[in-house]
Amino acid sequence: MPGTGDALRRTSDTLLRDLEALLELEEEKRTIDPGDPRLVDLASQIEQIATRVLASSTSQRAQTQLIHALTEADSPAAPDTTIDNTPRSMEAILAAWRQAERQLDAAEPESAEATEAQILIDRLREEYRRAHEEAIRGR
Q: For residue 18, how many other CB atoms are within 10 A of its CB?
A: 23
Average pLDDT over every residue of 6-16: 89
Q: Burial, 2: exposed, middle or buried (Cβ in 10 Å; 0-12, 13-18, 19+)?
A: exposed
Contact indicator for 53, 18 with CB cutoff of 8 Å: yes
How far apart (Å, rounded) are the C-alpha atoms in residues 73 and 77? 10
CA Rg, the chain, in Å? 18
What is the per-residue pLDDT across 32-61, written as a single tens digit (0 to 9) for each? Answer: 999 999 999 999 999 999 999 999 999 999
Specify the pLDDT at position 139.
65
The dihedral sign for the CA sequence 11, 92, 17, 115: negative
Q: State which residues form the domain around 120.
A: 4-138
How far apart (Å, rounded) are the C-alpha atoms in residues 45 and 111? 9
Contact indicator for 97, 121 with CB cutoff of 8 Å: yes
What is the per-residue pLDDT across 116-135, written as a single tens digit (0 to 9) for each? Answer: 899 999 999 998 998 899 88
Average pLDDT over every residue of 9-38: 92
Number of independent structural domains in the chain: 1
Half-sphere exposure of 60 (CA within 13 A, CB side): 16
Average pLDDT of the chain? 91
Average pLDDT over every residue of 70-77: 93
Average pLDDT over every residue of 91-115: 92
Specify the pLDDT at position 1.
39
